[in-house]
């Protein structure tokens, strides 16, 4: 279907769009749609995951994404002790802790044990965007990350309650300065503007009053601490309700607003479906109503979206620019393998390139999170993506140099995405190109690009380095074609 021909969202029947999709003979459940699901509900499929998903069907694959892992998996604490000291300034500096945290998260995404939950943890990290650059304490950031992971597919009500007491959040939004005599509005404003309701659904007066309700919500020694002496216990009026409100009462009032479920579902729509369209309230109605009715069970809208007809349509397909983490982790999962066929990329190798592509986990640019969408691609970040792809297909040598800065591991096996092809004795250029394209661009491989790549490999003799190098060149191009930048 041509994208230009798509009717606007307000012309669609919301109920029909959000109803479960049933594959038809015109639109089969195949590698194209399975890869689409894995890109959105995770960080892209490995070769084996893609094959299994196609065999199992859409229903079973979506169910598996929501199922807890068969064996309880440990999430070892990676940060112990206080941040290091910057030798230049003599001040505490958590940048090394930040690197450890990032690497641990990237590794979990690469492992892909609970891809959807990790993806949703990323959504919430972007939603409750908190940066280690201000918090300056890896332990607190790790604690917040665990909170977001725990509730990523749980209760939004509970998550909002806990994040409002989360030490990293309280440091991030200056809560210790929020005292009865001088209320600091930072948390009260963001909890309405960015965390629950969105602009236009509250007034400046509501912010001022809510700030008073959160007075005395402080941190001390890395823990939440309620300082009653600094709390304002006089009556406040928030969104039309008057009482001696404390912070939890304000959260309750926010959750009672119909705007809240709509606001979250709109963000889910942009994250999971399409970041370019502005869905009208009526279109989001079925999602938001069910979300509210379930008392904010996050799986309710997420499952509806991932099963829906709308999700498996041109409204969603390749209608997002890949986030840097999606690009880096996706590439690694698909082709970041060594001679044994197992993934050999060390996550520390990815930290530098992630930053060049514009995304440092645990360090979003501000409380609004990453801008995302088209803003991911400017001339500098387009280059960074090209350079990363080139390094990866050519063995990652230069990227591993970056990882060695952390002294955590001194040997990195080279990446060799060709090995598993050549080991199978495949030497026909067309077959090699198709094999990679089936994995990287199922359903999106332009035939003119295909013939150029086959011609590039040409008639080089299969056991020569020239042949191997030309195959790597072809792979590099597959990772840089414009289609591949879209998720």
Partner 1 sequence: MLSRREFLKRSSLIATAPLIPGFIERTARAAEPGKDPILVVLEMTGGNDGLNTVIPYRDDAYHSLRPTLRFQGNQVVKVNDELGLHPIMQQLGQLLQQSKLAIVQGVGYPNPDRSHFESMDRWQAAEVTAKVSGTGWLAKSVPDLGKGKGGGVPVMHIGSEKLPLACRGTSQGVFTINQEQPFELKLGLPGSEEEATRKRLLADVAATGSDDKTDALLPFVQRRYLQTYTSVEKLKTILKDMTKEQARTGFGPGSLYAKFDLIGRLIEQGFGTRVFYTAIDGFDTHGNQAQTHQNLLQQIDQAVGYLFQRLQRTGDDARTLVMTFSEFGRRVAENGSKGTDHGSGSCMFVVGPGVKAGPVGHHPSLTDLTDGDLKHHTDFRRVYATLLENWLKVDSKMVLGEKFETMNFIKKA
Regarding 277 and contact with partner 1 (CB under 8 A), the answer is no
Q: H or E stretch including 84?
A: strand 84-85
Shortest distance (Å) from residue 61 CB to partner 1: 25
Q: Which of 73, 423, 431, 446 binds partner 1 (CB under 8 A)?
A: 446
CA 115/CA 398 separation, integer angstroms? 28
Would you count residue 448 as binding partner 1 (CB under 8 A)? yes
Return the range that interacts with partner 1 (CB under 8 A); candidates 9-17, 76-84, 160-168, 372-380. 372-380
**Beta strand spans in 221-363 (E):** 223-226, 236-238, 241-243
Among 27, 107, 155, 184, the residue binding partner 1 under the rule CB under 8 A is: 184
CB 53 within 8 A of CB 38: yes
Give the shortest CB-115-to-partner 1 separation in angstroms. Answer: 24
CA distance 254 to 208: 15
> Per CB under 8 A, does 205 bind partner 1?
no
CB 237 within 8 A of CB 277: no
**Window of 29-37, 110-118, 216-224, 363-371 that interacts with partner 1 by CB under 8 A:** 363-371
Residue listed under structure tokens 């998720």 = 487
What residues contact residue 258 under an 8 Å CB cut-off, 6+ apart? 288, 292
Residue placing its CB nearer to partner 1 in the complex, 269 or 291: 269
Residues facing residue 84 across a β-bridge: 93
Q: Which two three-digit tokens encode residue 226? A: 């309620």
Kindly tell me which residue out of 237, 340, 366, 409 binds partner 1, with binding defined by CB under 8 A: 366
Asked if residue 6 binds partner 1 (CB under 8 A), the reply is no
Among residues 48 and 465, whose Cβ is nearest to partner 1?
A: 465
**Cα–Cα distance list, 451 to 59, 114, 263, 386 (Å):** 36, 38, 46, 21
- Examine residue 26 and tell whether it contacts partner 1 (CB under 8 A): no
From the list 222, 365, 395, 413, which residue makes contact with partner 1 (rule: CB under 8 A)?
A: 365
Binding piece for partner 1, criterion CB under 8 A, among 61-69, 93-101, 211-219, 366-374: 366-374
For residue 343, give every residue at least 6 positions away whose Cβ sits within 8 Å of its Cβ, in sequence order, or none: 110, 332, 333, 336, 337
Residue 7 binds partner 1, judged by CB under 8 A = no
Q: In the Cβ-directed half-sphere of 352, how many Cα atoms lie within 13 Å?
A: 15
- Convert residues 162-181 into a mask of x (bound to partner 1 by CB under 8 A) and - (unbound): ------------x--x---x
The tokens 């491989």 sit on which residue? Answer: 445
Phi-psi category of residue 174: left, alpha or beta, with phi > 0 → left and psi -120 to 50 → alpha: left
Binding footprint of partner 1, residue count (CB under 8 A): 57
Q: What gap in Å lies between CA 117 and CA 367, rounded to an integer?
A: 22
Give the single-character DSSP code of 415: P
Nearest of 386, 474, 482 to residue 436 by alpha carbon: 474
154 burial class (0-12, 13-18, 19+ CB within 10 angstroms)?
Answer: middle
Rule CB under 8 A: say whether 48 interacts with partner 1.
no
Q: Which listed residue (1, 67, 380, 430) binds partner 1 by CB under 8 A? A: 380
**Exposure string over 332-366, b if 16+ CB within 10 A, otherwise e:** bbbbbbbeeeebbbbbbbbbbbbebbbbbbbbbee
| 391 interacts with partner 1 by CB under 8 A | yes
Of 430, 452, 458, 464, the one binding partner 1 by CB under 8 A: 452
Piece of the chain touching partner 1 by CB under 8 A; list 38-46, 50-58, 185-193, 427-435: 185-193
- The CB-of-402 to partner 1 minimum distance in angstroms stands at 13
> Which position among 323, 370, 412, 445 is part of the footprint of partner 1 (CB under 8 A)?
370
Q: Looking at 204, 234, 459, 463, which residue binds partner 1 (CB under 8 A)?
A: 204
Give the residues across from 218 on adjacent strands. 225
State the nearest-atom distance from the C-beta of 142 to partner 1, in Å: 26
Least separation in angstroms between CB 68 and partner 1: 35
Q: Does 241 bind partner 1 (CB under 8 A)?
A: no
Interaction of residue 449 with partner 1, rule CB under 8 A: yes
358 counts as binding partner 1 under rule CB under 8 A: yes
Site of interaction with partner 1 (CB under 8 A): 3-4, 174, 177, 181-182, 184-186, 189, 193, 199-200, 204, 276, 318-321, 356, 358, 365-366, 368, 370-371, 374-384, 386-387, 390-391, 398, 446, 448-449, 452, 456, 469, 473, 476-477, 480-483, 485-486
């Amino acid at each position: 279907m041509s994208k230009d021909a798509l009717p606007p969202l307000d012309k669609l029947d919301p109920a029909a769009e959000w109803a479960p999709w049933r594959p038809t003979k015109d639109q089969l459940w195949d590698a194209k749609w399975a890869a689409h699901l894995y890109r959105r509900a995770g960080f892209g499929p490995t070769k084996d995951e893609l094959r299994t998903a196609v065999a199992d069907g859409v229903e079973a694959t979506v169910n598996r994404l929501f199922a807890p892992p068969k064996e309880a998996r440990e999430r070892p604490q990676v940060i112990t002790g206080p941040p290091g000291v910057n030798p230049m300034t003599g001040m505490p500096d958590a940048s090394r802790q930040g690197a450890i945290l990032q690497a641990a998260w990237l590794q979990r995404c690469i492992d892909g044990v609970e891809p959807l939950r990790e993806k949703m943890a990323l959504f919430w990290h972007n939603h409750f965007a908190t940066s280690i650059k201000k918090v300056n304490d890896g332990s607190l950031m790790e604690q917040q990350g665990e909170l977001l992971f725990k509730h990523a597919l749980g209760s939004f009500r509970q998550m909002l309650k806990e994040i409002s007491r989360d030490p990293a959040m309280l440091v991030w939004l200056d809560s210790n300065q929020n005292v009865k005599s001088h209320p600091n509005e930072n948390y009260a404003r963001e909890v309405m503007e960015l965390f629950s309701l969105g602009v236009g659904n509250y007034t400046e007066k509501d912010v001022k009053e809510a700030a008073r309700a959160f007075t005395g919500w402080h941190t001390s020694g890395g823990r939440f601490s309620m300082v009653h002496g600094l709390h304002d216990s006089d009556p406040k009026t928030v969104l039309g309700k008057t009482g001696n409100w404390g912070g939890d009462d304000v959260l309750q009032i926010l959750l009672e607003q119909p705007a809240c479920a709509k606001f979250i579902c709109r963000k889910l729509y942009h994250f999971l479906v399409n970041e370019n369209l502005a869905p009208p309230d009526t279109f989001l109605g079925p999602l938001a109503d069910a979300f509210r009715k379930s008392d904010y069970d996050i799986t309710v809208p997420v499952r509806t979206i991932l099963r829906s007809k709308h999700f498996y349509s041109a409204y969603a397909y390749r209608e997002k620019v890949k986030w840097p983490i999606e690009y880096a982790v996706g590439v690694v999962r698909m082709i970041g393998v060594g001679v044994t066929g197992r993934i050999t990329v060390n996550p520390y190798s990815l930290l530098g390139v992630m930053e060049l592509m514009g995304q440092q986990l645990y360090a979003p640019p501000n409380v609004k999170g990453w801008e995302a969408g088209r803003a991911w691609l400017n001339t500098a970040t387009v280059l960074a993506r090209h350079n990363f792809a080139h390094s990866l297909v050519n063995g990652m040598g230069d990227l591993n140099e970056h990882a060695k800065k952390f002294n955590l591991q001194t040997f990195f096996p080279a990446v060799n995405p060709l090995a598993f092809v050549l080991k199978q004795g495949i030497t026909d250029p067309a077959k090699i190109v198709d094999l990679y394209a089936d994995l990287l661009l199922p359903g999106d491989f332009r035939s003119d690009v295909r013939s150029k790549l086959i011609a590039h490999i040409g008639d080089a003799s299969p056991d020569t380095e020239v042949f191997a190098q030309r195959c790597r060149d072809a792979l590099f191009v597959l990772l840089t074609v414009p289609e591949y930048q879209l998720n």
